[in-house]
Structure 1
Amino acid sequence: MSEGVEWALHSCLNLTWLPSGTAVPAAKLAAFYGLPAAYLNKQLQALARAGIVMSTPGPRGGFQLARSPERITLLDVVVAIEGPDEAFRCEQLLKRGPGADPEVDYRQACLVSRAMRRADLAWRRELAEQTLADLKDQVERQYPATPGNTVNRFTALRA
């Protein structure tokens, strides 16, 4: 998984603490963590294509969440950045081994492939069950100063 997923999740989480309708430029989101703005902007554009954030053009423009944090799952963000493909890709290595049957689809028959597919499904289910709102609530309980610090930091970055 690329670092873009981490960047996108943190950026989306930071947007949850800002007042509704507040758009933040990619450069300011990037500056929050000292990230390269051009690369973060690519992640934000992928999130926009997926309907997770929306982009507002112009001097007061930027990015904001396109829907409520309760309606954005962690899996939504991962899929927006990484795509929908499974993490493990069976290349049917068993077809090259001794006694291989060229007629068999080893993606289905291979126990390694099946185990990896089950693990991928469990991982996706877990991510699909967690929303940005869940993550926001956990952060607020464990680190109550974070929302205020985030808003203050973005206010300072606007100046």
Structure 2
Amino acid sequence: MKLSQGVEWCLHAVVLLGQLPQGTVLPRTLMAQHHGLPDDYLAKYLKQLVRAGVLMASTGPRGGYRLARPAERITAWEVIEAIEGGQSFFHCQEIRQCGTGAARPAECTEPCAIHQMMHSAFLTWKDQLSQTTVADLVQQVPEHVRERNRQGLLNA
């Protein structure tokens, strides 16, 4: 399974916003510069987070993005789902019904063991990401880095 680079960019963006005082608006250009990301591409992904209700956007000279809810109420899964969609990473092709060893359709009334295993793995993955909040991720950023980020971005 491979996630788009937009997922990583957006997770970093929401973690960065989560390090700032609640309600702080951060211009997209500052976020892009902070992480060395292309502004135009980041803009596309941030719009998806706004549509998903993860971020709020404001326009004008003091415009930018902020978390739509407290960091404790935004999950990593919400960010991933906003960018990649919520579908499973595995799509069964019913290979067991192909080739010289093909099973008859009547023998395939239930998902095969591989399909069941992959579905279970997806649910476990989704559950873990649904239990991890932006606040949890912010807490893993060393305090001195959080402070440096706050100072650098709030004084920019």
TM-score (norm 1): 0.88
1:42 is matched with 44
1:67 is matched with 69
Secondary structure class of the residue paired with 1:120? helix
The runs of 5 or more residues in structure 1 that have no matched partner are none
Determine if contact 1:71/1:131 at 8 Å carries over to the other structure: yes
Q: Give aligned pairs, total.
A: 154
1:152 is matched with 151
1:117 is matched with 119
**Cα distance between partner residues in 2 of 1:86 and 1:49:** 21
Determine if contact 2:54/2:68 at 8 Å carries over to the other structure: yes
Secondary structure class of the residue paired with 1:100? coil
What is the Cα deviation at residue 105 of structure 1? 8.8
Matched, 1:24 2:17: no
2:9 is matched with 7
1:56 is matched with 58
Q: Which stretches of structure 1, 4 residues or more, deviate above 4 A after TM superposition? A: 104-108
TM-score (norm 2): 0.90
**RMSD between aligned alpha carbons?**
1.9
**Cα distance between partner residues in 2 of 1:40 and 1:108:** 42
Determine if contact 1:91/1:107 at 8 Å carries over to the other structure: no
1:40-95 deviation per Cα after TM superposition (whole angstroms, max 9, x unaligned): 11111111011010000111101000000111011111101110110111122222
Determine if contact 2:22/2:70 at 8 Å carries over to the other structure: no
**Cα distance between partner residues in 1 of 2:99 and 2:113:** 15
Secondary structure class of the residue paired with 2:33? helix
**Cα distance between partner residues in 2 of 1:134 and 1:96:** 46
The runs of 5 or more residues in structure 2 that have no matched partner are none
Determine if contact 2:75/2:131 at 8 Å carries over to the other structure: yes
